[in-house]
Structure 1
Amino acid sequence: MIKNISHKILFFLALSALPWSAFSQNIKSSLNAPAVTWKVKPQAEIGKDSMAILNAGYGTTSWVNAVVPGTVFNSYVTAGLEKDPNYGDNIHKVDRAKYDRSYWYRTEFKVPANFTKDIIWLNFEGINRLGDIYLNGKKIATLSGMMQRGKFDITKLANRSGTNVLAILVSIPQLPLNNYGSPTYVASASWDWIPYVPGLNSGITDDVYLTNTGEIVMEDPWIRTNLPSNARADLDIKVDVKNVSSQNLQGELAGIIMPGNIAFNKKFDVEAGRTTTVSLTKEQFTGLSIANPTLWWPNGYGDPNLYTCEFKLKLGNEVTDSKKVTFGIRKYSYDKEGGVLHVSINGKRVFLKGGNWGMSEYMLRARGEEYDLKLRLHKEMNYNIIRNWLGSTTDEEFYQACDKYGIMVWDDFWLNSNPTLPQDIYAFNENAVEKVKRYRNYACIAVWCGNNEGVPQPPLSGWLAEDIKTFDGNDRLYQACSNAGGLSGSGLWGNKDPRWYFTKYPEAYFGTGDGPGWGLRSEIGTAVFPNVESLRKFIPEKDLWPRNEMWNKHYFGTNAGNASPDNYDKSITERYGAPKGIEDYTKKAQLLNIETNKAMYEGWLDHMWEDASGIMVWMSQSAYPSMVWQTYDYYYDLTGAYWGTKSACEPLHVSWNPTNNSVKVINTTGTDYKDLQAEAAIYNMDGKEVAKFRQSAKVNSFSDTATESFVIPFYANQQDLAFQKPVMASSGEKPADVNDGNDSSRWSADNKDEEWIYVDLQGEHMVNRVVLNWENAYAKEYKIQLSTDAKTWTDVIMVRDGKPGPEALSFDETPARYVRMQGVKRGSGWGYSLFDFKVYAASADIAGLTKVHFIKLKLKEASGKLISENFYWRGINMKDFKALSELPKVKLNVTSKIVKRNGKQYITAKVSSPDGVAFGLRVQALNSKTNDQILPAIMSNNYFTLFKGESREVLIEFEEALVKTGEKPIIMAAPYNN
């Protein structure tokens, strides 16, 4: 044992035992912390004394407390000077002129005592839209555009021992925002999903803080990752180093990458007042070539592994600046095979499942940990991509959470569809460069997109491409337009029968795209009505029922015409019966939400790579309390849309195609699965199985495939209504050969595009399916048309990418006697040549089935372990489920266990149905005292169905602070039939 060790040696040993990061954390002091008081007041109300506000001791008692980061309007809302803008039509009644003008922000601060280094910096991360910055009476800068950062040396201007006065004159964006006022939050002037925000979201919209460094500082460290193979990663690091002194200096850049404990250091020279780029490559530091790296993968394809690199700059032994960068090792690649954009990562093609974010919140009130919640919900829905629509989410926490949860980002710039250029194209481009440099280290960014539903106008079209090339090294794709160029358009946004999403081809509303039909759809959606508990938070009781103008104020009406709310209403009544009130309406709406949103994703997944490569729903989260375009709602209640999406997007999933009754195993993982067992069972409304429809098959499911296991035989004995019925044709030979039962005889038309042929069914039928069999002289484009009189024809299918061979086409049940193929464009130089023309009605094999019946699918491992379970309701009339209201009431048994851990409560609720069918069970965690929902909460399952004797466990997780002392959570479970 050594007793005599000097204090110096002990100090050295203590230092060497400390983690490296103990020396590398930058000194930072937030100016938007709770301890810092900001005030805000209109410039016009300050008067002639405006410069007096720049002096210490100026009285601000008449000013309003400001929320920073935040907007002017939100400051007034928070101060109670405006009514809750979420409620009723309050925001529509606000005097816009009060906020659509310039405002002063003001605060006083002291330089922290631990700022002992030479240089004091004042940092801004974003001001919308223009900010004139004054410190201690002197204007130091103007920031233009909400993405432009500012880092200002205030060493000589700051009072280190006394009070400092910081004032910012904020000017609003210029109208029209689209695109004249850009770069800004373009939707702030209203869209078909949010109202006009007074002040156009102007304000200090991102962090403000002080930092303290030595005379050389780092700017935007850039870590690029390349994968020669997945067994090796080569890192390329570039760091801009700025010398703010009046002398030439020699410094040292050091860093350490974890995991792996990879250390590096490099000396450099930098001239006075200049910036130099310090580059580090594997040729210089072999440690930057990493063997067997842990890769960053999108959700479902692997873990989103992350690395950190802690940088420090040194002058001699002094650490002058430090930064910590988190990054993921990954490599994106792209192709447009077949005219369809495909995205690959680490050499693996990824099927894109995700949604659009219009904004994180319409008044920019989403902050900090709320992003973790939102992205956690997206992970739970099994998403792997989010489109940052019009670049409207600008907070760093968004990207941090996307990296954490393995959610790729399709990242737009701030241009929308029309040919208008921004007023200041130079500010726009500066903001674009700032965005790229600010976020390029995030693994999650997969695509940079120039324009929503359009192409950027010159010169921005070329500038943006060069920005990506120069400042991101083209490591990610630059996609000029959001709905063309390997994409299949955008829309439709209105509610459709689930079969439409499986039907060839689900057309886009806007933008034809380059792919045939499914392709990669950047937007498609539907109205999504919330539950009544949420409605009561933003709709006055008197306006809850029936539908009225207040609904329209929250985008269920003409304000959101693209959402087709009339059709949504019609679908609820047609499918589930006329609602008796708002509770009944919202209950039925959740079933419609489940059906539609599940089908949206399953329709695309069913056609994976033929030709579908991905789908992003409009929208996956809610920026404003509304009845449209969301999965979870504004208050984080998980609607039926959330659960339909979560089911459909399961990484390993078993699904049913309602147009042809095929059951497929969908594998959107990086893993192959052998010897799986797929099963289907059909149950009547009494919960008893109809044995003749039971199917099972052994399936090998390979990564990124949709594999058919079997077909449920609903149409096994279905009659071809067209067989040997009268046929009429516009021209050609032997039209009767198309329905003679001989698949080698054929009708041949003249060499013209507009030829047609129809079958007379000799009676009206509810027709819903046509099967054609084309010879090599096929129709490239054609319509299926129906009529009751052979005079007036209705289009039910438009095929734009026909091909030789058999083609099954399904559509909504429609009464018809005559069924016609109307040619539009030939696929060869010959006239149309058709072997078979078959027509089927909605009446399938209905013997033994109740009006509504249930499909339960299971996917199991060879050991019998359940991997995936899926559930559907189906009607003999495929659009009529009114018989569900005839289900008898049932009693449920509900038990629960609660565990508290790390500031959260975890509930395991077990729900059992001992007596009968409990359909569409909704489970909620409620506050025992208030009976309110406990939200936000993460849940494992909801809106499920139990047959007699079945039970299900539901796991619920929420913050412990949501339940106060004297309160406790209780579980309520209610089926649709109660």
Structure 2
Amino acid sequence: DLGTICRINKVKLFWGEEFARSYQIQFSTDKRNWRSLYSTNEGKGGIEEIKLTTATAKYVRLYMTDGISEHYSLAEMEVYGTGGVIPKQEAVPYMGKEGAYYLTGGNWKVQRASLVKLDGLEVSDPVFDDRDWIIATVPGTVLTSYLNIGAIPDPNFGDQQLQISDAFFTADFWYRTTFIVPNKYKEKRIWLNLNGINWKADVFVNGHRVGDIKGAFIRGKFDITPYVVSGEKACIAVYIHKNDTPGQITVQSLNSAGKNGGVLGADNPTIHASVGWDWLPTMRGRNIGIQDDVFISATNDVSLIDPFIISDLPLPDLFSADLTLRVELQNHSDRACKGKLMGIINPGNIRFSRSVSLNAFEHRDLVLDKNTLPQLCIENPDLWWPNGYGEQNMYSLELSFVANGGVSDKKTIPFGIREMSYDESDGVLKTYVNGTRIFFRGGNWGLSESMLRLDKEGYDVRVRLHKEENFNMIRNWVGMTGDEDFYRACDKYGVMVWDDFWLANPGDGPNPNDEKMFMKNAVDKIKHFRNHPSIALYCGRNEGNPPETLNKALREQTSLLDGTRLYIPHSATGTVSGFGPYSVQNPRHYFKIRTHRKLHSEMGMPNIPSIESMKKMLPEDKYWPVNDVWGLHDFCIHSAQGASGFMNAVNRYGKASDLQDFCKKAQMVNMENHKAMFESFVGAQSNGMLMWMSQSAWPSTVWQTYDYYLDQTAGYYGCKKALEPLHILWDSQLDKVKVANNTRQGYKNLIAEVLIYNMDGTLMLRDSVRLDSGSDTVTDCMSIVYPKKLSPVHFIKLELKDGNKIIADNFYWRGNKYQEYSDLSNMLPADLQYSLYREKSGGKVFLTVDIKNAGKNIALMTRLKVLRDRSKERVLPV
């Protein structure tokens, strides 16, 4: 798929050992009617270059009829010609916070390095002619740029990933842009900042090499003062190096997801997940590119480096907070400098200053606390709490260094006042925030998006969905996300971060080849993000221990550079646990295996999206029955997700007959089992569980709560119900009703009530008990004694009341024969009525829908969706 109608004049074929002798090169404008413009019975293998009479087409394919063996092996097909989509450049450089000039969007171009014959000194000359380069998306991967101009099909749809050449994109690439240096930078020291590239880069400005970047998670900052002039045109050229060990493509099938990870791990820190896992295909080119912001900034001679604010609460007293400020000062000049470090903390308008003298080229680590600055003791602070335990109050420190009558450098640092503490004395990790034990509930976030395309709004909505799901932790699995906007969203919504470094399970990839590069990236990661109150934990390796040299260095650096968070080496042993399971079990099984209170890092199951989302990811001819394109989208029978077990669970509701029927029944499985998965941890008063996975990086059928298109599955609502801070639940293994209180508030004289209904809506049992529910407790309320004459499938409704007010409720279906639910297909229709209310507030429109069951028949698993009036497309997220 060339993306649009193009004129084609040449095709190159790169054969493997088994090549076609007889083949045709065919063209189409509509993908239905094909014509052959070249055919041969004398294919020679190797590299064949075929010059063509110019053809016009949108689609090109190779049709092979005879080979030297039963198989064909084609490494790459290149199509040459003219034409194509010229995208509109919507973003232009802009002046951002603290006077930074962001080069997002603008004039960026990208080109495969093999097609550029000049070196960086010439490519970075402002007059260099880049008209034959393609328009680049920055920030963005190389693959994203080619997708956005229509040069490749969307790899997220159907099996179109197989149409994209891995050999073409697994290569070095040049990026280039020109811009006018802002006049306001005159007589300033000018800095070029690149907040993230993958994998390594050489950086050139106006015909000069200014430095390099090594590793995907380190910031690059370069003094370009000698090479640019305010008010004049400048050029930046960035040479992106492909990975040294990119590994091979893994193609999933219905039968198997194939191997997780691979040799790409030797290049860590890189986007290791891009080589392919059982939840993500192999990304062509491994997501190399400029993945984060590029901007110009300016200072005078003294700059501020990575200020860090530490808060200390004299627990259990929460009525004051002692702050410690750590900041590095660098004098870049050959002259001594005297000045003042000045700060303003808001809210509160708390001001302080400290005189500082720096020798020529001196680098100073400065530490200030209430002993040196009494203003750093804050009375009655507004504290930051995890979701479900309190508000997410944030403060801001405006820090500047003033010398020679002007501001040399200025930074604004958002921070939260809260104190983390840990207890591992009994072999179980217990974590406290502001003195309160936290029950962690959340999920693993494996990758932000398949091609790293999330922006601020993209992170915000996804983390908000976590908050509204009653989650309070995201595990940044193998450290695959390194964007400031991710951490900011976690701060905003009270979702704490279990922060991994870049080491996958030892079986999923080798140890990194360059430990020095690894640790430079690790040091920068810690210093870059340590002010975020949401970070709760550092972890060295997924499901294994780091090499001892790295383990020692990571432990030392997290302590030295941070010192406020715990470091653990292994994600699944020691004082925490893990290792799944990853396939659907059953509610009783989840409750049965909860024999310890450790924070469990991974447990999940397939999670089929709605039928609308399934149709959006699959071609129509692959809807039903399940097939290998489902397998490409992670529905694999003999791999960790155990798709066959999920099919069996669906068929307990009656054998699925088509995609519509399958998706409907899949939501029943999603709801029942996701709820039980979390309730088993809630009812055991454990230290928490993180599901595998909560974030969907691409259109998938497994391990998610909302799907790639941001539509919540029934599994989302199962998790949301199970994780209410105050919760009443049914332990189906013990047939007991329990109340779990994961709040800071205690309750007296509550009523727990159980009601059982037959399928026709007849009330068969009502029982109740009074109880007190203290903060951070689980209370056994009663055992359920089932009445006789229950219908084959019946319903359990739980209510927790404070007086006459229902403060928590729950609902289950149960079969007289365990998990035999086929009778649900005989339910009579319910009489659902609704009212819609519209309100305006703060410039926004809010819709409220009230649903009423006006009849006697039970309405089970009612799904609401909002559609656009004309197109009937879903409005997402809602």
TM-score bin, normalised by smaller chain: 0.7 to 0.9
Tell whether 2:310 aligns with 1:224.
Answer: yes
- Counterpart-to-counterpart distance in 1, 2:100 and 2:713: 42
The residue aligned with 1:463 is 553
CA contact (8 A) 2:121 2:204 kept: no
The residue aligned with 1:584 is 661
- Structure 2 residue aligned with 1:600, among 677, 688, 713? 677
- Counterpart-to-counterpart distance in 1, 2:844 and 2:129: 44
Note the C-alpha offset of 1:48.
4.7
Q: Report Cα offsets for 1:114-159 as digits up to 9, x if no partner.
A: 2245211111111111010000011101100111112211111112
The residue type equivalent to 1:112 in the other structure is P
Q: CA 1:392 to 1:177, structure 2 compared with 1: closer, same or farther past 3 Å?
A: farther
Q: Secondary structure at the match of 2:860?
A: strand
The residue aligned with 2:610 is 531
The residue aligned with 1:391 is 479
The residue aligned with 2:571 is 482
- Counterpart-to-counterpart distance in 2, 1:577 and 1:896: 35
Note the C-alpha offset of 1:285.
1.4
Normalising by structure 1, report the TM-score.
0.77
- Counterpart-to-counterpart distance in 2, 1:492 and 1:317: 63
Tell whether 2:622 aligns with 1:543.
Answer: yes
Q: Which has the higher contact order (CA 8 A, sep 6+)?
A: 2
Note the C-alpha offset of 1:179.
2.5
The residue aligned with 2:192 is 122
Moved more, 490-499 or 914-923: 914-923
- Counterpart-to-counterpart distance in 2, 1:905 and 1:544: 37
- Structure 1 residue aligned with 2:650, among 569, 572, 580? 572
- Structure 1 residue aligned with 2:268, among 168, 182, 189? 182
Tell whether 2:223 aligns with 1:153.
Answer: yes
Q: Report Cα offsets for 1:316-363 as digits up to 9, x if no partner.
A: 321111111111111111122442211111111111111000011121
- Structure 2 residue aligned with 1:372, among 460, 470, 473? 460
Q: Report Cα offsets for 1:27-64 as digits up to 9, x if no partner.
A: 111011x4x11000000011257653222222222111
- Structure 1 residue aligned with 2:848, among 896, 904, 908? 908
Note the C-alpha offset of 1:500.
0.7
- Counterpart-to-counterpart distance in 2, 1:905 and 1:60: 47
Note the C-alpha offset of 1:901.
4.1
Note the 1:380-529 alignment, pairs <5 A. 380-418=468-506, 420-473=510-563, 475-503=564-592, 505=593, 517=596, 519-529=598-608
Tell whether 2:156 aligns with 1:97.
Answer: no
The residue type equivalent to 2:397 in the other structure is C
Larger radius of gyration: 1
Tell whether 2:758 aligns with 1:684.
Answer: yes
- Counterpart-to-counterpart distance in 2, 1:484 and 1:931: 49
Q: Secondary structure at the match of 1:273?
A: coil
Tell whether 2:70 aligns with 1:70.
Answer: no
CA contact (8 A) 2:418 2:533 kept: yes
Moved more, 39-48 or 446-455: 39-48
- Counterpart-to-counterpart distance in 1, 2:110 and 2:852: 56
- Counterpart-to-counterpart distance in 2, 1:495 and 1:439: 36
The residue aligned with 1:82 is 152
Q: Secondary structure at the match of 2:168?
A: helix
The residue aligned with 1:927 is 868
Q: Secondary structure at the match of 2:491?
A: helix
CA contact (8 A) 1:26 1:321 kept: no
Tell whether 2:781 aligns with 1:709.
Answer: yes
CA contact (8 A) 1:25 1:322 kept: no
- Counterpart-to-counterpart distance in 1, 2:151 and 2:636: 30
- Residue correspondences, number: 762
Tell whether 2:561 aligns with 1:561.
Answer: no
- Counterpart-to-counterpart distance in 2, 1:352 and 1:243: 44
Note the C-alpha offset of 1:578.
0.2
- Structure 1 residue aligned with 2:798, among 832, 857, 868? 857
- Structure 2 residue aligned with 1:214, among 300, 308, 331? 300
- Counterpart-to-counterpart distance in 2, 1:269 and 1:275: 11
Note the C-alpha offset of 1:177.
4.7
CA contact (8 A) 2:120 2:209 kept: no
Note the 1:820-859 alignment, pairs <5 A. 845=787, 847-859=788-800
The alignment yields a C-alpha RMSD, in angstroms, of: 1.5
Note the C-alpha offset of 1:390.
0.3
- Counterpart-to-counterpart distance in 1, 2:314 and 2:853: 56
- Structure 2 residue aligned with 1:315, among 403, 407, 410? 403
CA contact (8 A) 2:135 2:149 kept: yes
- Structure 1 residue aligned with 2:713, among 639, 642, 653? 639
Q: Secondary structure at the match of 1:228?
A: coil
Tell whether 2:438 aligns with 1:350.
Answer: yes
The residue type equivalent to 2:670 in the other structure is N
- Structure 1 residue aligned with 2:830, among 867, 886, 890? 890
CA contact (8 A) 2:193 2:220 kept: yes
Q: Secondary structure at the match of 1:563?
A: coil
Note the 1:709-788 alignment, pairs <5 A. 709-714=781-786
CA contact (8 A) 1:488 1:517 kept: no
Note the 1:278-357 alignment, pairs <5 A. 278-357=366-445
Q: Report Cα offsets for 1:657-692 as digits up to 9, x if no partner.
A: 1112211111111111122221111111111200xx
Q: CA 1:264 to 1:637, structure 2 compared with 1: closer, same or farther past 3 Å?
A: same
The residue type equivalent to 2:640 in the other structure is N
Q: Report Cα offsets for 1:435-481 as digits up to 9, x if no partner.
A: 000011111111000000000003111110111111012x1000100
CA contact (8 A) 1:117 1:212 kept: no
Q: Secondary structure at the match of 1:467?
A: helix
- Counterpart-to-counterpart distance in 1, 2:673 and 2:349: 50
Q: Report Cα offsets for 1:941-976 as digits up to 9, x if no partner.
A: xxxxxxxxxxxxxxxxxxxxxxxxxxxxxxxxxxxx
The residue type equivalent to 2:438 in the other structure is V
The residue aligned with 1:57 is 127
Note the C-alpha offset of 1:878.
1.9
The residue aligned with 1:618 is 692
- Counterpart-to-counterpart distance in 1, 2:158 and 2:362: 56
The residue aligned with 1:46 is 116
User: 4+ runs of 1 displaced by more than 3 Å?
Assistant: 48-52, 900-905
The residue aligned with 1:867 is 807
- Counterpart-to-counterpart distance in 2, 1:188 and 1:626: 15
CA contact (8 A) 1:355 1:386 kept: yes
Q: Secondary structure at the match of 2:527?
A: helix
- Counterpart-to-counterpart distance in 2, 1:903 and 1:578: 49
Moved more, 269-278 or 215-224: 269-278
Q: Report Cα offsets for 1:381-439 as digits up to 9, x if no partner.
A: 11111100000111101110111111111000000121833121111000000000001
- Counterpart-to-counterpart distance in 2, 1:898 and 1:219: 49
- Counterpart-to-counterpart distance in 2, 1:636 and 1:904: 20
Q: CA 1:923 to 1:111, structure 2 compared with 1: closer, same or farther past 3 Å?
A: same
The residue aligned with 2:32 is none
CA contact (8 A) 1:293 1:329 kept: yes
The residue aligned with 1:726 is none
- Structure 1 residue aligned with 2:331, among 231, 243, 246? 243
Q: Secondary structure at the match of 2:865?
A: strand
CA contact (8 A) 1:606 1:706 kept: yes
Q: Secondary structure at the match of 2:290?
A: coil
Q: Secondary structure at the match of 1:926?
A: coil
Q: CA 1:539 to 1:904, structure 2 compared with 1: closer, same or farther past 3 Å?
A: farther
- Counterpart-to-counterpart distance in 1, 2:241 and 2:843: 42
